Amino acid sequence: MNYLDANTWIGAWPFTFCDSHTARSLQAHLKRQGIQRALVSPLGAVLAPAPGPANRELLRTTRGLVGLIPVPVINPALANWREELVLVAADARVRAVRILPNYHGYRLRAPAVNELVAALTARGLRLIVQMRLIDHRHEYHAMKIKPVPAADLAALLDRHPQLAVLASGLLQPELRKWLPLYPQLLADLTFAEWYETLNHLREKVAARQLAFASHTPLLITAAARAKLDMSPRSKTERVAIASGNLDRWLP
């Protein structure tokens, strides 16, 4: 099956014993796991005071590596986010940007997010909202970070009904609740899990709204593949979730 991974990262994460990948080692790891293509963002942009240096490294180190699609991080709470967007959008490989409101100290309801949406729309770029990066119950004890409220995402979609958003890191109850209400929303499977995960989601959610995601290196890559590989859903449906839906979503 052809896999396009919606959620992978390069760089180090200081709070767990997961791997720290360069772009090249990530590409090799994903290849070993049977994943041909991936959206990749820089972990260095999550905790740094500004995402610029990590974005620059992402764009530099992924150049020439087939299958890795760079997804820079934009922080609209910073005064220079428009300049940063211009810089990353100058690279023709950039087709989407990722935002992390809970790590960067703003709400999806903030006026700057509306301005970012307008800027992305004008440039034909997509928006990925990282709803959670870590299960908040297991955040490092000094980190008091809650997930992005799903209701805030819903309000964003109400304000921008034509906006094509990929929500990354929703839990399975959130997926079952919110996706039927917002058919334009695509969500990844990063934290979705229940007995027969896909069957459970498909009771409520359209297959075209789901996208494969491993969250490498924070989660075990093979575990993400198991959600699709071991599922009794039809091949057509699994292929759509493995790559087709995200391929269609990207500009």
Partner 1 sequence: MRIIDVHTHPILREDQRGPAGAAQLIRRARAHGIEHLVALGDVLAFSRMQTAEQVQLINDETAAVMRAHPHFVTGFCYLNPLLGPSVVEAEVARCVARGFRGLKLEIANNARDACMAPVMRAAEQHGLVVLQHAWSMTNIHQRRFHTDPEDVATLAQRFPRVPIIMAHLTGCGVRGILAVKGCLNVVVDTSGAAPEAGLVEFAVEQLGARRVLYGSDAPVRDFGVALARITGSRLDARTQRMLLHDNASALLRLP
Query: Binding partner 1 by CB under 8 A: which of 138, 151, 158, 236?
Result: 138
Q: Is 17 helix (H, G, I), strand (E, B) or coil?
A: coil
Number of residues that bind partner 1 (CB under 8 A): 33
Question: Does the footprint of partner 1 cover residue 161 (CB under 8 A)?
Answer: no
Q: Which window, 48-56, 87-95, 106-114, 216-224, contacts partner 1 (CB under 8 A)?
A: 216-224
Residue of 140, 135, 145 whose CA lies nearest to 106: 145
Measured CA to CA, the distance from residue 235 to residue 239 in angstroms comes to: 6
Question: Does the footprint of partner 1 cover residue 223 (CB under 8 A)?
Answer: yes
Tokens standing for 95? Answer: 């087709």
Tokens standing for 179? Answer: 């996706």
Query: Binding partner 1 by CB under 8 A: which of 83, 115, 158, 229?
Result: 229
Question: Does the footprint of partner 1 cover residue 1 (CB under 8 A)?
Answer: no
Question: Does the footprint of partner 1 cover residue 28 (CB under 8 A)?
Answer: no
Question: Does the footprint of partner 1 cover residue 235 (CB under 8 A)?
Answer: no
Q: Which is nearer to partner 1, 104 or 215 (CB)?
A: 215
Let me know: does 94 contact 70? Beta carbons within 8 Å.
Answer: yes
232 contacts: CB under 8 Å, gap ≥ 6: 196, 199
Q: How far is the CB of 31 from partner 1 (least distance, A)?
A: 15
- The CA angle 192-195-199, to the nearest 5 degrees, is 75
Let me know: does 216 contact 29? Beta carbons within 8 Å.
Answer: yes
Query: Binding partner 1 by CB under 8 A: which of 7, 41, 197, 243?
Result: 197
Contact positions toward partner 1, by CB under 8 A? 16-19, 135-139, 141, 190-191, 193-197, 215-227, 229-231
